[in-house]
Structure 1
């Protein structure tokens, strides 16, 4: 393990905790209360404020700012946290805010995730593992982003919206309703443009499960029946499919933003085409 290095121009306040092999570059500022894990690298001009925990092996590029107070008018200035998992790549100008003291009190980022330049994670969000935010992605407060989700450049996710695991949000999409696991949202405002077949294959999902999700998605957006009936039809027909079970659990969970999920367009796009 390499020796810990702190550039002479960096400011590491008393009370900050540094792991082994940490590298703090020029003009960085690490406040008291922050915890930097083993083998993390802060390249230059990085600011880590408040009670922020940065997991081991993170690489943080210039001008990223981690752990500032939430942009939430209800926040009273209490002790809140930003918790970032291990092996994350945080590129130039990324901002991630702490939780708010009138909500759950922390923002959480999972392991092995990548946040490209100028992406933003707002207060009280829960971002999963192996997630990718492309440049300029913005998510509002209280959002949930599932494992392996990919958000394309400039995409915006409304506060309280949930993005399911293995979902894909297209570049510049504005997502204002929940997006089902494996779904692909495109457009402004975003609509369900198909399924993230490429992501499903990359994650090793069995072929029969992919076919089951395709059939289930067509049934789910059959407008001839009420939503509750469609969900019960899925339970009956796909009882042996774990992937469809995930979709059902996602849809029936307590959603704060919407009573249903991002739909396909009506008309010629009423049955979303798979993107393979």
Structure 2
């Protein structure tokens, strides 16, 4: 590989068919797999593990040290899965010794000016729209879409197949299959359009809607609503995923619109 206008540390491990544009900078302890494209003025720092066919656009900074005063220089990583796209001026920080890594999944799109802080996990097939800001230790599950300029509090979990409105302040966990918006952030229905696009049947969508009627629209507290869901609805993968999300929440789940 001959990139006279890029800086590539001799200890970086880069597949033969990776394309690196002029003025990119790649540090030691970096792994970049086949088919990846690194745009001009991209900075890839120590600890980056970049998969196959990834595209990283100009101005992005990948695997910078955490913006965490407790960080002591420990050996941690930033992992990016295959076929993911990182747009202009995105900043992705590597992990701390809390988890040792930050992870971005495969087939995910992270749009311009987004920030993903230390120890975050972003799943597969996610979209983070322009200027989304994730604090540390945030988890976003597969197929979630986070609208532009949304800000997510540290340690928040966002469930699979969710859609979060642009400009949202996400202070509490967001359960799977939902649409959320307003201020304070609250339930706005289930993500039925997204679910249909991903092959969920009408019967399955109706089942998910009924579960959330118990939780958010009957005036019950979460504990009582979940008990009734278990008692009155047949066990399914989706039912159990929703129940387990609520019962496993440490920060607490955002409220239903009518609960305010």
- TM bracket, shorter-chain basis: over 0.9
Residue equivalent to 1:274? none
Residue 33 of structure 2 is matched in structure 1 by: 37
Runs of 4+ displaced beyond 6 Å = none
Quick one: distance in 1 between partners of 2:222 and 2:183? 24
Are the equivalent residues in 2 in contact too, given 1:6–1:23 (CA < 8 A)?
Answer: no
Shift of 1:49: 0.3
Partner of 2:54: 58
Q: How far did residue 30 of structure 1 move?
A: 0.5
> For 1:99, which of 95, 99, 102 is the aligned residue?
95
Counterpart of 2:222? 227
Contact 2:214–2:220 (Cα < 8 Å) also in 1: no
The superposition leaves residues 246-274 of structure 1 with CA deviations (integer Å, 9 ceiling, x where unpaired) of: 11111112x33x2x31112237xx7xxxx
Q: Which residue of 1 is the match for residue 258 of structure 2?
A: 266
Give 1:159 deviation, angstroms: 0.6
User: Any gaps of 5 or more consecutive residues in structure 2?
Assistant: none
For residues 148-202 of structure 1, the C-alpha deviation after alignment (integer angstroms, 9 at most, x for no partner) is 0001111111110000000001110111000010111112332111111111111
Q: Find out whether 1:140 has 2:140 as its counterpart.
A: no
Contact kept in structure 1, 2:216 and 2:258, CA below 8 Å: no
Question: Do the aligned residues in 1 keep the contact of 2:144 with 2:160 (CA within 8 Å)?
Answer: yes
Counterpart CA distance in 2 for 1:26 and 1:238 is 59
How well do the aligned residues superpose, as a CA RMSD in angstroms?
A: 1.4
Task: Return the offset for 1:224.
Answer: 4.1
Q: Deviations over 1:48-79 (max 9, x none)?
A: 10111011000110000000001112111110
**Residue deviations 1:21-40 (CA, integer Å, cap 9, x gap):** 10010100000001111010
Structure 2: distance between partners of 1:116 and 1:222: 34
1:192 to 187, 191, 207: 187
Q: Which residue of 2 aligns with 1:24?
A: 20
Residues in 2 aligned to 1:63 and 1:108: alpha-carbon distance in whole angstroms: 20
Identify the match of residue 47 of structure 1 among 43, 46, 49. Answer: 43
Q: Which of 205, 208, 218 matches 1:210?
A: 205
SS at 1:153 equivalent: coil
In the alignment of these two chains, the number of paired residues is 260
Q: Which runs of 5+ in 1 are unaligned?
A: 271-276
TM-score by length of 1: 0.90
Q: Which residue of 1 aligns with 2:69?
A: 73
* Contact 1:174–1:187 (8 Å) recurs in 2: no
Shift of 1:222: 4.6
**Partner residue of 2:8?**
12
Distance 1:207 1:6, change over 3 A: farther
State the SS of the aligned residue for 1:26.
Answer: coil
Take 1:211 and 1:153, find their aligned partners in 2: how far apart are those partners?
29
- Report the Cα offset of residue 223 of structure 1: 5.8
**Deviation at residue 240 of structure 1 after TM alignment:** 3.2
- For residues 35 and 125 of structure 2, the distance between their equivalents in structure 1, rounded to whole angstroms, comes to 19
